Every structure is written in C-alpha cells, then in structure tokens.
Amino acid sequence: MEQVNGCNHFNKETKNQLRCERATLKRKSSFLLPFLLFIIIFISDDTLTFGTNANKLFIYFKYLIYFLLMLWLLNRFGIRTIVPMSTIYLFAIIIAIFSTALVNFDFRGGYGYQIMTVTLAFLIAHFINHKQFLEIFSKYLFVLCIISILVFIVANSFSGLLEYFPVHENTAGVQFANLYISGVFIDVGAIRNTGIFREPGVFMIYLLVCILFELYYSTKPNMKHIALYSIAIITTFSTAAILILFFVIAGYILTQKGKGIVKYKAITMVFAFILISIFIFYPNVSFKIFSKLDMDSATM
C-alpha cells in the first residue's frame, strides 16, 4: 500500500513538473514567435532596407542577425531534439549547395549565406506551430497595411513631406525615401504601394498569402482584415495581384454553402461595386493597373 501511495505521489510530482515546464515553454513561445516573425518579415531579402539596399552595411547587419539567430535556435532547442529524417533532408540540401559551389569553383559568401538561410528556415519550420505562425504573420501584415496605405496617401497628396526622410538607393540605382516602416520610390512615374518591401509585386505576395489564410484556413474569416488587404493590393497597382485576388475571392464564395455565405456575398458585391466605381470615375487608376495588358506594353 505504501508502495502504491509512493508511486501515486511520484506520478503527481512528475505531472506537476511537466505542467510547469509546459507553462514555462508557453510563456517563452509567446515572446519567441513575435520575435521570429519580426526578423523574418522586417529583416529579410524581400525588404527595401535589408534586401536591395545599395548600402552594404544593412546587408551585413542582416547576415549577422541571421547567424546569431541560427546559433540561438540551435542552443535553445538542441540538435538532438530534431527528427532524424528531417535532419537528413537538411543535410541533403546543404550538400547540394556545397556541391554546386565545388563544381563551379565558386567559394564566395553567397553559398554560405544560402546554407545559413536554409538551416535557419529548417529550425523555424521545425519548432514553430504553423497555425500560430500564420496568425501572428497576419497581425503583422495588418499593421503594415495600415501604415503602407497611409504612406501611399501622403506620398500622392503631400509628397513634400518625404523630403524629411533619408533617401537611399537600391542595387538597381533607383532612389527611395526610406521611412523604415515603409518606403516610396522617387522619380519612377506613378507612386505605388510597396510597404517595406523591395517592390509592389513582393508586397502583393505577402498580402495574398494573408487573404488565403483568412479565407481557406481560419475558422472564421476576418472581413476587416480581408478588406484592408484588398485595398492595399489595389494600391500596389499590380495587375497580377488584382486578377489573382478576384479568383481567390470568387473561388471561396462559390465553394461555400449555408446561410452565412449570404453575408459574404453581400460584402463582396459592395466591395466589387466600390472597385468598379473607382475604375470608372478615376480612369488613371484603371490605366495604371491594366495598361500592362495592352499589346504594346511588351515594347515599353
């Protein structure tokens, strides 16, 4: 009897210890996820400041951050906790990159950077819950959308205010006003919404991923988020983005059933009406978006 009671006592202590460990891990994760997402979004090759900036100091800073983050994740989780089969895939990719460098007799830092980013991506994907990842990703993009739309309005209506911000140059020699939380290209014709990203086409990919998440993955789509993402996509003046957005939303509506879909159909019709009205009363907007579909655009 004493032995049984002792076992029960041991089991209770073990359960309490496990419960404490899980609570501690959850508290740490609440900081870890936003921190990782901040680096992935703001300090990446897709941004103006850290991706295509002609000032190499920003690029070297990004390399340093990636390297320190990789070491930190390895130390935090430990390589022993990684599934062996997953590790084989990682090493296969690393060997392929190294073999390419060896065959081409090219041992510049680019291959090392590829190995570092692949390893970092592997660690993040292996240890982070993808649902939490997408939820925080969506929140970040929602904030970026608000900022980018405000900057877009200011840049088109009060362009003189951009003179108070530093002017940088990208690797193609094009200057941009760097607000760090957004960017605006200078003297390139029509001002398009790029957010913090190196070009509008990259920004629209992030926005479409968020819309796909809201419509096809989340249990209840956040219409406020979808509306803002859609407005941001229109301000990128990306023809491909607007066409894809149309098919994504149309596909969602056609595949839904039940009474709740009536509300989404109504909202979609109102949004479509507003969009068509903009194209009719502001033909310049329509031209900026759809001029690339003209046959003569190939020679432009």
Q: At residue 126, does pLDDT exceed 50? A: yes
155-166, pLDDT tens digit by residue? 988 888 888 899
Q: Which of 25-34, 46-55, 83-92 has the lowest mean pLDDT?
A: 25-34
Q: With residue 184 as reference, give the H or E element that holds it.
A: strand 183-185
Q: List all residues 6 or more positions away from 237 whose beta carbon is below 8 Å from its beta carbon.
A: 190, 192, 193, 200, 285, 288, 289
In three-state secondary structure terms, 169 is: strand
* Weakest mean pLDDT among 169-178, 192-201, 235-244: 235-244
- Residue of 140 and 217 predicted with greater confidence: 140
Supply the pLDDT for residue 190: 79
List the structure tokens of 89. Answer: 């895939």
Q: Where are the domains of the chain?
A: 129-300
- Contacts for 74-78 with beta carbons within 8 Å, 24 or more apart? 74/123, 77/123, 77/127
Poorest-pLDDT segment among 106-110, 162-166, 229-233? 106-110
In this predicted structure, what is the pLDDT of residue 196? Answer: 94
pLDDT of residue 298: 46
pLDDT of residue 288: 56
Sign of torsion over alpha carbons 132, 138, 143, 147: positive
At 38-60, the pLDDT tens digits run: 888 999 999 999 999 999 999 99
pLDDT of residue 286: 54
Among residues of the chain, what percentage have pLDDT more than 70? Answer: 72
Confidence of residue 18 (pLDDT cuts 50, 70, 90): very low
